[in-house]
Structure 1
Amino acid sequence: MFLTNIFAARFLGRDLFGQYTMVRSTISLASNFITGALGLTATKHVAEGEYKDPQNFLIKILAVFSINFIFNFIFSLILILFSDQIINSFFLGELTLKNALFVGALLLFTSTNAYLAQSILVGLERFKIIAIINLVVSILFFPIILILIKYGKVIGTLSGVTLYFLFDLIFKVYFLKTKILSQFYTINKESFLAHLKKLSSFSLPLVLSLFFSSGSFWYSKVFILNRSNRFAEIAIFDAAYQWLTIIMLITGATTSVALPMLSKAVGQKNKFELTKIFNINLIINIIISATIALIIIIFSPYIMRLYGESFVEGSDILSILAITSIFFSISSILNKYMISHNKVWHVLFSSFIGMLTLFYVLFLMQAKLAFGLSIAFLSYYLMTTLTYTTLIVIKK
């Protein structure tokens, strides 16, 4: 997906790339509500359930997918029925993006289900299988995506990404069904409904938390888009943001591994193991993110030139987002620590404080457009890190 965005920027140009990233951000807004809450829920409960509650293991998985389907249906319906209003209110009235939103509804379904299947595999600690499937699908579909980008423009790019997630989903569900779920046969209706209610209750604070974080990120981009009155400004920010995403993926891989391990340690009431896992993951994430951030800052002008000469002016934005990645990494591992302890309302509170900080800084820096937006993102993760740390210290 990272290389896809570089080629998309070069083939589409700043304006069309900005249109693509805004549609993608809108889909990601809905996707983050679903995958962020249900993905973490699935990882935690599957990690605990395989050992503590094997009888209800399959029921938990089906309950998570059922909740996912409901959310998908609601968000897809909103995208389709209110596409004109969304475009006129948030996308400068660019009606050519209407069909792009329809493709986005399909992308939402494939990406959220693929991520959910991956979250279950993470909970089961099948990391090798995840890596193999991701590699195979990437190699197979990268050439197809490039062709669709070149000839299909914005809709072609979205269609290519949708196909990627569709086959990623097929491979992961096939593995789950044949290698794992085939061991479990009994499904009790009462037990299924009970787990559905339990998982929904656990996910609610996480959904609200993601409403504050993802919602504020999305709206802040819409705010800058409408203030600048051009997609090109957002294109520069999103090109730089891709490199923050790379660090997020790298450190996110380690924090995703940490969640099932932390959850097991909490379930076993093994305080020594819990502290060891937390400290190791925290140190590793800080070292990785700081090292990559330093490299990105040094080479920021050359990195932005990969997207085209018109993107070079975004090197300062890239440097700010590289620094942001350090606080994201710390905040992420603190987030997993809270979730493993069932402190999901603490997660909600931290996101709320981060959102208020983001909007305050964005209001002060709005004249700086994309650069001000990068400072606002930095302030969000800095504040959530401080809030999580304060809550953990108070708890102790």
Structure 2
Amino acid sequence: MSLARRLASQSSLIFGARLGGAGLVFLVQALIARFWGADLLGEYLIVNATVNLVAVVMPLGFQTVGTYFAAEYRARGDRRQFTAFLMRCYGHVLAALVILLIGAPFLLGLIGQGNSVLAEHLVPVVLLAFATAIVYVNSALLVGLKRPFAGFFADTLFRPLVLIAAFFAGLGLVGPTAGFSLMLWAVAIGYVAVSLVQFVFVVTSLSRIDDRVAVRPAEHSRWWRFAAPWVLISLASDFFFDIDLLLLSHSLSREELAIFGVCTRVFSLVSFGVAAVYAVTLPDIFESEANADRPAFHRKIGEANVVATVIALALFAAVAVAGPFALMLFGPGFTAGALPLAILCLALVVRSMMGPASMVLSIHDRPWASLPAVALGLGALCVGNAVLVPSMGLIGAALAALAAISLWSFGLWLIALRTAELDVSILQWFRTRRATAVAAE
């Protein structure tokens, strides 16, 4: 099936739900800025960034490999092994919940955040992190069990619906501060309920796995070998801007932080369009590698990179034109984020051109090889923020992120080229085309 037809099937529905949900989140953030002010929007973005970072750590990386192992055990008919894996995933999250409830107040006080928005709203923040972590695990397992809609819709659609309902509940109270507090409680309780309903789908999906494999010890060491490096990779890549917002919270004002936070959310939305390309082509890429068909592997990687780069360039142009108008929804002051947003979208073009190196390294059983590039990117981000933000403000923050993502992407490409002897950049596509043309002559 062609790429266009794949995008028009299940993936298009998932992408549409993601766009609709992101639109609702965008609307809620605009309403918070309009009704409660940019300061409270900045506080919300700090809470959201913290929740995302904590939630991705709580399962200890098992959510990042959940799809792989769920698909494997389903294909082998190994229900006992899958059940053991499932229990380990949720056990990590429950243990982390207990540790957070007991130790978070002490930790916040230790790092000088005893009076921060996180300390003030600690219980709803922890509950929201717990629900988010459960959804991460649920989603990974359900996708591996071929129930993608049940896997994706909790985060892409129902979480935004809970958020907008919680905002309007808080809006009914007198005073922004009280309304903001009620919103956090409502969204935390609502999302816990969503995560538990989705968990029921996971449990009822156990019947989809045959039980034809003899009893054997749980593969704990194998699970950890795959999951451990992806804790850091997923934390740094999927939540790059959440980390950045926390770093910038000490150097930007709350209003500037709110503006930059909105820019990063728009960037995350448009980048999902590029991620969808690799999600659609991933099964074919895996199949080519499994069959040791190196020419087909290179061709499919190259085609995906070309499509992703074209989409990234189109999105950059669209953001450059429409970005100022979209930012005006938050208030006149938010138009200051137009240029930083365009700079951030340039990073998407760079990332697309360099290709999915982390994925390729994992295919070749070398996920740890990605970590030096991850460290390079985060180090460049810290240095860039320290050097550029004090003098250039929002533009400096955007340039620091662009430099970090560019170095990170280049580092991953170089590591994949040297360790796996694979060029996953867009250049490989041009070389393949040229070789094909020469052979045809």
| Rounded Cα–Cα distance in structure 2 between residues aligned with 1:191 and 1:207 | 24
Q: Does 1:148 align with 2:147?
A: no
Contact kept? 1:225, 1:234, Cα under 8 Å = yes
Which of 289, 302, 306 in structure 1 is aligned with 2:312?
Answer: 289
Partner of 2:41: 17
Q: Identity over aligned residues, as a percent?
A: 17
| Rounded Cα–Cα distance in structure 1 between residues aligned with 2:118 and 2:49 | 13
SS at match of 2:61: helix
Q: How does 1:271-290 map to 2 (within 5 A)?
A: 271-290=294-313
Q: How does 1:132-143 map to 2 (within 5 A)?
A: 137=158, 141=162, 143=164
Partner of 1:247: 270
Partner of 2:62: 38
Q: Please, which runs of 5 or more residues in structure 2 have no aligned partner?
A: 1-20, 422-441
| Rounded Cα–Cα distance in structure 2 between residues aligned with 1:35 and 1:239 | 28
| Larger radius of gyration between Structure 1 and Structure 2 | 2
Contact kept? 2:376, 2:408, Cα under 8 Å = yes
Q: Does 1:109 align with 2:130?
A: yes
Query: TM-score, structure 1 length as denominator?
Result: 0.83
Offset of residue 238 of structure 1: 0.4
Deviations 1:156-213 (A, max 9, x none): 3433443454344344333333345454458988522xx2221112211222334655
More displaced 10-residue stretch of structure 1: 316-325 or 74-83: 74-83
Deviations 1:9-54 (A, max 9, x none): 3333111111111121112122233579333311233334433x33
| Rounded Cα–Cα distance in structure 2 between residues aligned with 1:349 and 1:181 | 41
Query: TM-score, structure 2 length as denominator?
Result: 0.76
Partner of 1:391: 415
Offset of residue 370 of structure 1: 3.1
Which of 168, 177, 201 in structure 2 is aligned with 1:175?
Answer: 201
Q: How does 1:82-121 map to 2 (within 5 A)?
A: 82-83=104-105, 85-86=107-108, 89=111, 94-95=115-116, 97-121=118-142
More displaced 10-residue stretch of structure 1: 292-301 or 172-181: 172-181
Deviations 1:313-366 (A, max 9, x none): 222221122222333455673322222222201221221121222222222213
Q: Please, which runs of 5 or more residues in structure 1 have no aligned partner?
A: none
Offset of residue 121 of structure 1: 2.8
More displaced 10-residue stretch of structure 1: 1-10 or 212-221: 212-221
Offset of residue 149 of structure 1: 4.5
Q: How does 1:152-171 map to 2 (within 5 A)?
A: 153-163=179-189, 165-171=191-197
Contact kept? 2:64, 2:234, Cα under 8 Å = no
| Aligned residue identity for 1:178 | T
Q: Does 1:207 align with 2:231?
A: yes
| Rounded Cα–Cα distance in structure 2 between residues aligned with 1:129 and 1:82 | 32
Contact kept? 1:296, 1:319, Cα under 8 Å = yes
Cα gap change, 1:311 to 1:28, in 2 (>3 Å)? same
Deviations 1:80-111 (A, max 9, x none): 523365378465x6445424232111111111
Partner of 1:369: 393
Deviations 1:223-256 (A, max 9, x none): 432234x322211110111101102333334434
Q: Determine which structure has greater relative contact order: mean sequence separation of CA pairs < 8 Å that are 6+ residues apart, divided by chain length.
A: 1
Deviations 1:295-314 (A, max 9, x none): 11112221111112232222
Offset of residue 281 of structure 1: 2.7
Contact kept? 1:145, 1:157, Cα under 8 Å = yes
Contact kept? 1:243, 1:322, Cα under 8 Å = no
| Rounded Cα–Cα distance in structure 2 between residues aligned with 1:386 and 1:187 | 44
Offset of residue 288 of structure 1: 2.2
Deviations 1:137-165 (A, max 9, x none): 36864652332342453333433443454
Contact kept? 1:258, 1:277, Cα under 8 Å = yes
SS at match of 1:374: helix
Count of paired positions: 390
Contact kept? 1:148, 1:159, Cα under 8 Å = no
